[in-house]
Amino acid sequence: MNETYSLEMRQIVKTFGPVVANDRVDFRCRPGEVHALLGENGAGKSTIMCMLSGVYRPTSGEIYIRGKQAKIRSPKDAAKLGVGMVFQNFRLVQTLTATENIVLGEKSSFWRGPGWLRRKEEEIEAIAKRFGLLFPVDRPIWQLSVGEQQRVEIVKTLYRGAEFIILDEPTSVLTPGEAEQLFETLAQMKAEGKTVILTTHKMKEVMAAADRISVMRKGRMIHTIAKADTNEKELAKLMVGKESAAVRRESRPRAKGPVLLEVRNLDVYGDHGRLALNDLSLTIRAGEIVGVAGVAGNGQKELAEVLNGLLPWKKGKIVFNGREFKTASVRGAIEAGISHVPENRMKSGLAGSLGVVDNLLFKSYRSGERSKYGFLRSASNREWSQSLVEQFDVRTPGLDTPVRQLSGGNQQKLLFAREIHRNPHLMVAVHPTQGLDVGATEAVHRLLENLRDEGRSVLLISEDLDEVMQLSDRILVLYNGSIVGERGREEADRETIGMYMAGIRDEKEEAV
């Protein structure tokens, strides 16, 4: 109960079944600081914050707030103690307006006429203005951009009088410009004496925004340090547990291959009849990795789906390997040699309750090697699966283990095994390293680079700008369903790409 700490978590343990998510974690915050909680995906940052905000209950350990032991059994308890959290997946009701979402849970005033609503809207706008968080208060959430939704979330915690504000990976959904704006808001909160806790795995943010930094790794608290006393290199070392290799690989100049995929003036309608791809054109040559950067929801999903035959297009044409696609057909795309690593591997990539063999068979069961007269060749299929599992280093207890039980990294390797062994001409990989640890990420990156080195092509769609910049030979930026900018590997820098991501077009290109 040191007086300099306004918040203390002591020896927190949290287990989910056999998995230990937090192992005796200590965490302390001073009043009026911006405290960054740094760690890889899966290091246990979100878990410990969820316990502070009452979503999870610790298996053991104690929490002290303002020197007094706190029992946080529910989000309600947390709110009473002045703890508010902005989750990575926003907790907003899509059909309600911003104001309704913010006052949700408020007990006062059973009757809520138009007058009451107007007063609340004014109150909320005043808070929003004070912290530089602007959004339309009377619009339903589904009409707001992701950045605006995040502002609604932050105002929600402020409106409820939170003194401790937890932001879980706040910049993962923002453009670099929006992130800048967010950091200004954090500074304002600090100036008003609020304690801000920021979980992230991005070093740049930590150095830009934090006063003190706590590093977590594999469910344990490694170290807490003031920003002034450290540097990026030391933090990276603490975070991954080993000196991380120089991220950017040597680029090798290579001969340009022939055009493999040509997409011209494509219009595609997404969910609810929204124009998701708008007059989109792109070209992919053999033997290159083309990265697609952009803020989520600008047509990435639809681009991947249309290339894999999952979504029809309204206008334009797709020519692959010299043949024009006539209609959207998944089987057509598979047979033409397009592989797909979908955004959500457990939703549209693998069947969780089926075993390794069945999952590997999904795209090749029709071939004569795998089946005869409509019956699967079980024995030879098992041998074949075993060889793939070994080749791609998938760690699995057995060939019949439901793939749901594998770790995220091994699931992804299994998926790559299925998609790569068919020797595709083009692989469309969407967020291929989402939720993977360093080792698995490394393995996936190597697989993609090997494909390229064999003269095959990769369309890499990712929200992680660093990943796109590290792997791609060319970078395209998707905004509002169109490609708004293109940069070669050498000429790409974060600033320009960030401008494109925010929809600011290059004047030079506009003139052409």
Residues that bind another protein (CB under 8 A): 16, 53, 55-57, 74-76, 79, 85, 87, 89, 91-96, 100, 103-113, 272-273
Report the candidate in 319, 447, 354, 437 with the shortest Cα–Cα distance to residue 392. Answer: 447
Q: In Å, what is the CA distance from 333 to each residue of 337, 338, 418, 427, 447?
A: 6, 6, 15, 11, 21
Q: Which tokens hold the place of 107?
A: 């007990």
Q: CB–CB of 414/392 below 8 Å?
A: yes
- The partner residues of 459 in beta bridges, in order of sequence, read 290, 428
Query: Least distance in Å: CB of 234 to another protein?
Result: 32
| Closer Cβ to another protein, 55 or 207, answer by number | 55
| Closer Cβ to another protein, 252 or 272, answer by number | 272
275 by DSSP, 3-state: which? strand
| Closer Cβ to another protein, 77 or 442, answer by number | 77
| Closer Cβ to another protein, 55 or 502, answer by number | 55
Residues 6+ apart with CB under 8 A from 499: 177, 485
Query: Least distance in Å: CB of 500 to another protein?
Result: 30
Torsion region of 360: left, alpha or beta (phi above 0 gives left; psi -120 to 50 gives alpha): alpha
Residue 236: which H helix or E strand, with range?
helix 232-240
Query: Least distance in Å: CB of 153 to another protein?
Result: 10
| Closer Cβ to another protein, 332 or 352, answer by number | 352
Query: Least distance in Å: CB of 88 to another protein?
Result: 9
Helix axes 494-501, 176-191, angle to 10 degrees: 90
Query: Least distance in Å: CB of 61 to another protein?
Result: 16
Q: CB–CB of 242/45 below 8 Å?
A: no
CB burial of residue 490 (10 Å; 0-12, 13-18, 19+): exposed
Query: Least distance in Å: CB of 143 to another protein?
Result: 12
| Closer Cβ to another protein, 52 or 471, answer by number | 52
| Closer Cβ to another protein, 74 or 387, answer by number | 74
| Closer Cβ to another protein, 305 or 419, answer by number | 305
Query: Least distance in Å: CB of 490 to another protein?
Result: 41
Of the CA atoms within 13 Å of residue 36, those in its CB half-sphere come to 28
Amino acid at 244: S
| Closer Cβ to another protein, 105 or 132, answer by number | 105
| Closer Cβ to another protein, 83 or 290, answer by number | 83
d(CA 512, CA 510): 5
Query: Least distance in Å: CB of 77 to another protein?
Result: 9
Side-by-side strand order, sheet with 7-16: 19-29, 7-16, 60-65, 68-70
Within 177-306, strands assigned E span 195-200, 212-217, 220-226, 259-269, 275-285, 289-293
d(CA 229, CA 420): 46
- The partner residues of 246 in beta bridges, in order of sequence, read none
Query: Least distance in Å: CB of 276 to another protein?
Result: 13
| Closer Cβ to another protein, 85 or 350, answer by number | 85
Residue 77: which H helix or E strand, with range?
helix 75-80
| Closer Cβ to another protein, 107 or 508, answer by number | 107
Q: CB–CB of 477/501 below 8 Å?
A: yes
d(CA 356, CA 364): 14
Q: CB–CB of 483/282 below 8 Å?
A: yes
Residue 432: which H helix or E strand, with range?
none
Query: Least distance in Å: CB of 75 to another protein?
Result: 4
Query: Least distance in Å: CB of 240 to another protein?
Result: 24
Query: Least distance in Å: CB of 184 to another protein?
Result: 26
